Amino acid sequence: MDSPFITAAEIESANLELTGRSAEEVLRWAVGRFGHKLMMATAFGAEGCCLIHMLAQIDPTIRVINLDTGYQFKETLKLRERLLYTYGVAVEFIRPDTTVEEYERMHGGPLYEHRSDQCCFDRKIVPLRKAVVGYQAWISSIRKDQTADRARADVVQWDPKFGVVKVNPILTWNYKDVWNFIYKNNVPYNPLHDQGYPSIGCWPCTQPVTEGADERSGRWAGMKKKECGLHVVEYQQGSGI
């Protein structure tokens, strides 16, 4: 079933047109197509910082948010100020309805210890669902080579979980591409990346990894889980949008 503002055919056409194009071209298309009905969500990872650098050159007034679960590293939170100083882009913190203290009191302690999927749902997915209300598209910084779920993504796709179009400008980049861009353009990044954290999420569920290990092996270490759920989409053949 088509959305009132975009059809499945347009999404398919845009994806075909933009696959293989540069990240900047994808972002320019998204800004041109959706204007201020477009937003970006970032966890302040290296990839997201690259996109903020590009977006600042294209349209620095596009809304950029961070899902502040209450469990982020202090280094992650401080990065917001460095990005604001460098690019004039004020990343907006989107927080759950309950503080960490209230949430843990409700559940008799930290939920991430034994029900991490529920914790991620409550403190990431629910807040993003509220944040996208009134918007038509969101930008993510996922790469195909990160997880099996992300490998199935398209540059432009419908995101049924949030009811908007999802745009993935650096989908075909790899880890080396990200860091080449950062060094070439002097992009601010989280100092934890220099301390053995190639992928950074909430502090209780993120560990440093040994050199050469899978970059996401420090996320939910010891568990099969590799995603918080934001980028896990159930695909159904013939469902259109």
Kindly report, residue by residue over 77-101, the tens digit of the pLDDT. Answer: 999 999 999 999 999 999 999 999 9
120 is in an annotated binding site: yes
3-state helix, strand, coil in the chain (%, to 5): 40, 10, 45
- Structural contact between residues 114 and 81, judged by C-beta atoms closer than 8 angstroms: no
Lowest mean pLDDT across 10-24, 169-183, 227-241: 227-241
Lowest mean pLDDT across 8-22, 46-60, 146-160, 222-236: 222-236
| Residue 24 burial class via C-beta count within 10 angstroms: exposed 0-12, middle 13-18, buried 19 and up | middle
Query: 211-235 burial, b if ≥16 CB within 10 A, otherwise e?
Result: eeeebbbbbbeeeeebbbbbbebee
How many alpha carbons lie under 13 Å from residue 4 in its C-beta half-sphere? Answer: 3
Is the pLDDT at 230 greater than 90, yes or no? Answer: no
Confidence label for 239 from pLDDT (cuts 50, 70 and 90):
very low
Instruction: Quote the pLDDT of residue 90.
Output: 96
Confidence label for 220 from pLDDT (cuts 50, 70 and 90):
confident
Instruction: Quote the pLDDT of residue 2.
Output: 58
50 is in an annotated binding site: no
CA pair distance 41, 233, nearest whole angstrom: 17
Per CATH, the number for 8-205 is 3.40.50.620
Is the pLDDT at 237 greater than 60, yes or no? Answer: no
Confidence label for 235 from pLDDT (cuts 50, 70 and 90):
very low
Predicted confidence (pLDDT) per residue in 15-60, tens digit: 999 999 999 999 999 999 999 999 999 999 999 999 999 999 999 9
In the chain, pLDDT over 90 holds for what percent of residues?
77
What residues are labeled active site?
A: 228
Is the pLDDT at 125 greater than 80, yes or no? Answer: yes
Is the pLDDT at 241 greater than 50, yes or no? Answer: no
